[in-house]
Amino acid sequence: MTDISTEIDPYAALQDKEPAKPPRNQWLDVWDQFKKHKGAVFGGGFLVFITLAVLLGPYIWNVDPQKLDIRNKDVRPLWTALWNSDAKTLWHRPFGTDNLGRDLLAQMIAGGRASMAVGWTAMLLSLSIGTAVGVAAGFFKRLDGLLMRMTDLFLSLPILPLLLVAVTLFRQPLRANFGPEGGMFILIVVVVGLTSWMQTARIVRGEVLALKEREFILAARSIGTSSRAIIMRHLLPNVISPIMVSATLGLAVAIITESALSFLGVGFPSDFPTWGKMLADAVPRMEQFPERVLLPGIAISLTVLGVNYLGDGLRDALDPRIRGR
């Protein structure tokens, strides 16, 4: 019965030991945690896939999405032939065609390009405005009143007249400088971005108001941390999860708002496809040609789901309390 446990070297215990292995980079930990999140990997993977598809798609499938072929209109996608041998299908129109004979695969690719570009840009724009306004209003008391009244103002502006005014004032100069589609793109992105940041701002401000009274902010302040550092290092990481939710919802809102704008006649030129517009145009014929609503509908849903899972994964990976559990 030897008492090994009592044999502790008191000096060794007091010494500073070298860590067994060198400290790992924080971002490697983040990446490890991220990889464990199956949804996030799937979501991220899907987003990469869809981005590549809409970017490189036109080079592989080089059919003009605006080309009419009235003789081959209403062609069904290839897979309908599986259960309906009478369906009109064509090998060189794998997804079928619409009521004017435009190739649906090419439209999906071109539409995806526009929708993704509008969705991401408008979402990022609204997110950055919303976060900046929210943090500034929550953190700096002097700005709060002014910024929040401005938020109230933007919330109460009716979007349709706003758009009509923007179109009237800016379409001609933008068209002259960026072409009809480029100009409209800028206009839509800016208008969607400018009219959707308010919710994010209010949410971020609410969180910041609560956070800035917490002890760790007091501690940071007492050691002389600058406001800028407090915001960047202590506040923003703690409001990341509502921001992520806003981002996910914001992407969907931007894609759908774009389609509503085309519907009202203030969006892209009518023969310029986007997912939202393809979906809206196909609704009256959804019983005869379900694929025309399903294809863009699924594309939008999967993109939004992808962003959602990616956001979930990122949030988990960035939160040191969850990481490593």
The footprint of other proteins on residues 10-39 (CB under 8 A) is 39
- Shortest distance (Å) from residue 14 CB to other proteins: 29
168 binds other proteins (CB under 8 A): yes
Extract the tokens encoding 47.
């987003």
Q: Which of 29, 42, 94, 206 binds other proteins (CB under 8 A)?
A: 206
Q: Which of 30, 94, 285, 318 binds other proteins (CB under 8 A)?
A: 285
152 binds other proteins (CB under 8 A): yes
d(Cα 242, Cα 202) in Å, to the nearest integer? 11
218 binds other proteins (CB under 8 A): no
Q: Which of 308, 310, 314, 317 binds other proteins (CB under 8 A)?
A: 308
229 binds other proteins (CB under 8 A): no
259 binds other proteins (CB under 8 A): yes
- Shortest distance (Å) from residue 168 CB to other proteins: 5
135 binds other proteins (CB under 8 A): no
Residue 89 pairs in a beta bridge with: 76
192 binds other proteins (CB under 8 A): no
Per-position x/- string for 41-80, each x denoting binding to other proteins as judged by CB under 8 A, each - no binding: -------------------------xxx-x---x------
Instruction: Please say which residue, 48 or 157, places its beta carbon nearer to other proteins.
Output: 157
172 binds other proteins (CB under 8 A): yes
252 binds other proteins (CB under 8 A): yes
256 binds other proteins (CB under 8 A): yes
207 binds other proteins (CB under 8 A): yes
Residue with tokens 């690719």: 109
99 binds other proteins (CB under 8 A): yes
d(Cα 251, Cα 123) in Å, to the nearest integer? 5
Instruction: Please say which residue, 103 or 281, places its beta carbon nearer to other proteins.
Output: 281
Instruction: Please say which residue, 189 or 256, places its beta carbon nearer to other proteins.
Output: 256
136 binds other proteins (CB under 8 A): no
Question: Judged by CB under 8 A, how many residues of this single chain contact other proteins?
Answer: 83
Q: Which of 45, 48, 214, 226 binds other proteins (CB under 8 A)?
A: 214
Residue 103 pairs in a beta bridge with: 97
3-state secondary structure the chain: CCCHHHCCCHHHHHCCCCCCCCCCCHHHHHHHHHHHCHHHHHHHHHHHHHHHHHHHHHHHCCCCCCCCCHHHCCCECHHHHHCCCCCCECCCCCCCECCCCCEHHHHHHHHHHHHHHHHHHHHHHHHHHHHHHHHHHHHCHHHHHHHHHHHHHHHHCCHHHHHHHHHHHHHHHHHHHHHHHHHHHHHHHHHHHHCCCHHHHHHHHHHHHHHCCCHHHHHHHHCCCCHHHHHHHHHHHHHHHHHHHHHHHHHHHHHHHHHHHHHCCCCCCCCCCCHHHHHHHHHHHCCCCHHHHHHHHHHHHHHHHHHHHHHHHHHHHHCCCCCCC
Q: Which stretch binds other proteins (CB under 8 A): 21-29, 47-55, 79-87, 281-289?
A: 281-289
